[in-house]
Structure 1
Amino acid sequence: MTADLAVVGAGPAGLAAAGTAAALGLSVTLLDAGERVGGQIHRHPAHGTVPRAARDLVRRLGGVRHLPGHHVWTVVRDADGWLLHAVVGADETPATVRARNVLLATGAHERQLPFPGWTLPGVVGAGGAQAMLKSGGVLPGRRVVVAGSGPLLLAVARTLAAAGARVPALVEAADPTAYARHLPALARNPGKLTEGAGHGAALLRRTTRLLTRHAVTAAHGTTRLEAVTVTRLDRAWRPVPGTGRRIPCDALAVGHGLVPQLELATGLGCATRRTPDSTPALHVDTEQRTSVPGVWAAGETCGVGGADLARTEGEIAALSLAGGDPRRAAVLVRRRARLRAFADAMAAVHRPGPGWTDWLDGATEVCRCEEVTAGRIREAVTELGARDARTVKLLTRAGMGWCQGRVCGQAVARLAGEDPAPDRRPLSCPVPLSHLAQPPGAA
């Protein structure tokens, strides 16, 4: 069976696109690596209640063929459109879906900037800490410092505190007063300001200290995390000498924003652009079309902007595919412009400064999979002539491990003196060799 549309990703963008397209008469197949819909933002317990925001989207999925537990590892052209190859479940069963059109809503992953001690047990991603709590009801620790940069930190700190964790400090590397340079975008999105103020007020009531223009520059412990050093930063994010302070804790939730997940799109040859924080994202037109005919994209793959923007883009893409009401499309396009302006303002304010690499001593592991230190990467650049991340990779093996650079890629690129390049991997996840030797049949 060939569907009119295959949607990859069941987060807000994918759900909005699938539901709208099906309501307009298209046959739709929705594939997602997760067992339940909602994506990371609407993650819910494996056997618990679906969050209301996700339920509202699920109600629109009548007529959609939903394939959970399907991790799409490549998309290739077919005589009738596209073939989507996936691995299914723990036993990695092969599956193939055929579709005339594809919409990519593959989301994003956390950006991690390394520092001494970041590999200690007890140091987790900020989004990872939230996912642990949402899906399993598990706190990463009892006394949790939340650090990094970006609006996600406020939500994570509030969630952890509400669940019973003590959050002694929320450490934000950026300078929030920089939002004053983006007043038009703020004025057009008052709800975002209200949401942020609500998170902040809740944390202050719980005696969480907010430290702006500060960063965790070291984590300390023997067998697990025992404390962190928090240091004031200058405007380039360089540590200011003599300003470090030690905060006892048994967990650190740290993250510096999100990075669009682009492997499937770049494998197809889709064009990319740079967001205001120099992160690669997909380039799409006013109807969410990519540069490859027959392929649309929506949500964080087009630039990180939150659930409201993702849903809006998903609906715009579906209307484009199905020839929906142009008046409705015009309303959505205006909403997208407003939300995208705010997203761009956030990206500009929280863009990592070049001085963050001064946090790293020579022994700091940057690539954890291959145990490549900052010292080895700097040696490749200064003594062996490496001028880009690819050459550093060839000389040091940084990025050649299990995660294939998803965790360390951004940091390696910065240490090599360049902006991170769009992810280009022939496979978006590990795949058994048998799947490559003998392409799977139709699902």
Structure 2
Amino acid sequence: MTERAHLAVVGAGPAGLTGALAAADRGVRVTLVDAAEQAGGQFYRQPARALGARRPEALHHQWRTWERLRAGVERHIVTGRITHLTEHHVWCVEREPAHAARAAGSFAVHALRGPAQEEGVTVRAHAVLLATGGYERVLPFPGWTLPGVVTAGGAQAMLKGGLVLPGRTVVVAGTGPLLLPVATGLAAAGARVAALVESAAPGALLRRAPALAAEPGKLAEGAWYAGRLLRHGVRTLPRHTVLEAHGGDRLEAVTVAALEQGGRIRPGSARRIPCDTLAVGHGMLPHTDLAETLGCALSGTDGPAVRVDDEQRTDVPGVWAAGESTGIGGAALALAEGHIAGRSIAARLHGIAPDPHAWAAAARARTRLRTFFAALEAAYAPPAGWAQRLTDDTVVCRCEEVTAGAVRTAAGTLGAGDLRTVKLLTRAGMGWCQGRMCAPGVAGLTGCPLTADRRPFARPVPLGVLAAPPDN
């Protein structure tokens, strides 16, 4: 099967939806390709239709923005301007050969269709917008592989998409603004949130008050979450971290402790909190797999992000990127970037020079929000010294069951100086997730920079799909 369009948008979260709408409103035919059953991405994740949720808006804020986006996409689907391919998992985007590009477009977007992901689909387009979002940074600690330990975003996805709680008594821990809506949502849904354990200190936010004050709406949002936590009686432990998760067949408790300057554990501060679920997260990292395959330039010191210009263009002609793939910044920033990208794409495909004044308001919002989230990222950095607290028998790579001791040996005794060499020596990162889960942990343990590996495939692909003759 081959779908043809002027623009292929990969990802139907805030950036992808806004980019698709901005382009379609200006006469561009769009194919929106997304892995989920419904549009929305993680931020606007919807309950499965079969669940018959009566008030899905109770799980979200900014619901009116979602309704506007959904109505706009549905309107263009009816007119045929937008084609929405759900449950299509993109595994590669490539440039078309010159003879094929003249007839079908400049790019081929290869996807696997349906839950089984056994049938290949190719979408051909003259331009591509990568709105692939981000994924959670996972840092290991003793006991983190126990059943009952989930990521903070995973707990939120279970609640939003499945209307289920990950457990009855939950500890939410780590660092970053995502912990607030996760703890609030779980408490509102009926879970007992035993504690919100945040490694950042309140002073880290106060030191960045001028940059944060530029977005009073975001500060008000944070204050609202804090009020909801007080209402639900959630105990907040700032400047604390999880030392260990305990249990036999599943999680039974966690040990947390207070942090001093430099990431040291305050003597005598350790306490054990009974729970059956630990939702833990240490921020987000951009999804850059497809951009790497295309050869797009990346930048960033704390994990690579796709480098873009003022129009959200990458350095590969015909490829734009927007949202978390260009740097973690939340839904509002993704909406602004998607709008700019969509308008830029429409102008470029129609052969006219883009008018930056047409998206001046979105550009101003983009500048403010990038500054705001840069300050947040600095305030919510993972706690110093976390890697030194890992015991040698702590599993770091779950897929290949590689321990912290093996990784330390590779870097220290064997002299590995980069993540690829560590992988070759230990197999850390060779498993199903291809290092997406363990790479931050391995980098922290070894001191190696968290660099991206250029891979031909962004996800596992059946051999039958690869062996099939190319379509025309």
The verdict on a shared fold, with TM-score over 0.5 as the criterion, is: yes
One of 434, 441, 445 as aligned partner of 1:404: 434
Task: Quote the offset at 1:392 in angstroms.
Answer: 1.0
Whether 2:270 is the aligned partner of 1:244: answer yes
- Confirm or deny that 1:254 pairs with 2:280: yes
Distance 2:185 2:244 in 1: 24
Q: In the alignment, does 2:248 pair up with 1:230? A: no
Task: Say whether the 8 Å CA contact 1:144–1:168 is kept in structure 2.
Answer: yes
Q: Which residue does the alignment assign to 1:112? A: 138
Displacement of 1:185 in angstroms is: 2.0
Q: How far apart are the structure 2 equivalents of 1:427 and 1:439? A: 18
Structure 1 residue 168: Cα displacement: 1.5
CA deviation after TM superposition for structure 1 residue 439, in Å: 4.6
Which of 1, 20, 41 does residue 22 from structure 2 map onto? Answer: 20
Structure 2 counterparts to residues 386-405 of structure 1, below 5 A: 386-405=416-435
Q: Deviations 1:381-408 (Å, cap 9, x if unpaired)? A: 1211112211111111001111111100
- Residue 86 of structure 2 corresponds to 68
The 5 A counterparts of 1:10-409 are 10-47=12-49, 48=52, 51=57, 52=63, 53-61=65-73, 62=76, 63-78=81-96, 79=101, 80-91=105-116, 92-274=118-300, 278-323=302-347, 326-409=356-439
Q: Find the residue that maps to 1:407 and give its secondary structure.
A: coil
SS in structure 2 at match of 1:144: strand
Q: Distance in 2 between matches of 1:234 and 1:433?
A: 52
**Does structure 1 conserve the Cα–Cα contact (< 8 Å) formed by 2:169 and 2:275?**
yes
Cα deviation code 1:284-336 (max 9, x no counterpart) = 10010011111000000011111111011000001111126643311111110
Matches of 1:439 and 1:412 in 2, distance apart?
39
CA distance in 1, matches of 2:190, 2:331: 26
**Superposition deviation, residue 224 in structure 1:** 0.7
Q: Is the 8 A contact 1:2 1:100 kept in 2?
A: no
CA distance in 2, matches of 1:126, 1:149: 10
Q: Secondary structure at the match of 2:339?
A: helix
- Partner Cα separation in structure 2 for residue 119 and residue 55 of structure 1: 38
CA distance in 1, matches of 2:386, 2:449: 14
Which amino acid in 1 is paired with 2:392? Answer: G
Q: Secondary structure at the match of 2:261?
A: coil
Give the TM-score normalised by the residue count of structure 2.
0.90
> Once the 2 structures are TM-superposed, how far is the Cα of residue 45 of structure 1 from its aligned partner?
0.8
In the alignment, residue 66 of structure 1 is paired with which amino acid?
H
Mapped contact 1:20–1:60 kept (Cα < 8 A)? no
Task: Summarize deviations over 1:239-296 as a string: whole Å, max 9, x none.
Answer: 3343211011111000101111110001111111115xx1211111001001111100
Partner AA of 2:413 in structure 1: E
Between the aligned partners of 2:222 and 2:469, the Cα distance in structure 1 is 48
Residue 447 of structure 2 corresponds to 417
CA–CA distance in 2 between the matches of 1:144 and 1:340? 32
CA contact (8 A) 1:238 1:358 kept: no
| Corresponding position of 2:461 | 431
SS in 2 for 1:236: helix
The residue type paired with residue 10 of structure 1 is A
- CA–CA distance in structure 2, aligned partners of residues 199 and 14 of structure 1: 27
Report the CA distance between 1:66 and its aligned residue: 0.6
Provide the rounded CA distance (Å) in 2 between the counterparts of 1:166 and 1:293.
51
Shift of 1:207: 1.8
Q: Contact (CA 8 Å) 2:199, 2:383: kept in 1 or not?
A: no
3-state secondary structure, aligned to 1:59: helix
Alpha-carbon distance in structure 1 between the residues aligned to 2:387 and 2:445: 7
Counterpart secondary structure, 1:3: strand
Shift of 1:102: 0.3
Counterpart of 1:364, as a letter, is T
Question: In structure 2, do the counterparts of structure 1 residues 241 and 423 end up closer, same or farther at CA, with 3 Å as the change threshold?
Answer: farther
RMSD value, Cα = 1.5
User: In structure 2, do the counterparts of structure 1 residues 205 and 34 end up closer, same or farther at CA, with 3 Å as the change threshold?
Assistant: same
- Deviation, structure 1 residue 54: 2.6
Distance 1:4 1:318 in 2: 12
Bigger drift between 231-240 and 144-153 goes to 231-240
In 1, the alpha carbon distance for the partners of 2:358 and 2:214 equals 20
What is the CA deviation profile of residues 362-421 of structure 1, one whole-angstrom value per residue up to 9, with x for unaligned ones?
110000111000011111112111122111111110011111111001111121212211
Show the counterpart of 2:60.
Answer: none
Q: Quick check: 252-261 or 230-239, which moved more? A: 230-239
Which residue of structure 1 lines up, in the alignment, with residue 351 of structure 2?
none
Secondary structure, counterpart of 1:202 in structure 2: helix
SS of residue matched to 2:314: coil
TM-score, normalisation: structure 1: 0.96
- Residue 84 of structure 1 aligns to a residue in which SS? strand
CA distance in 2, matches of 1:234, 1:284: 38
Structure 1 contact 262–423 (Cα < 8 Å) conserved? no
The structure-2 alpha-carbon separation of the partners of 1:290 and 1:279, relative to structure 1 and needing over 3 Å to count, comes to same
Cα distance in 1 for residues equivalent to 2:312 and 2:37: 27
Where 2:262 maps in the other structure, the secondary structure is: coil
1:64/1:235 CA distance change after superposition, 3 Å: farther
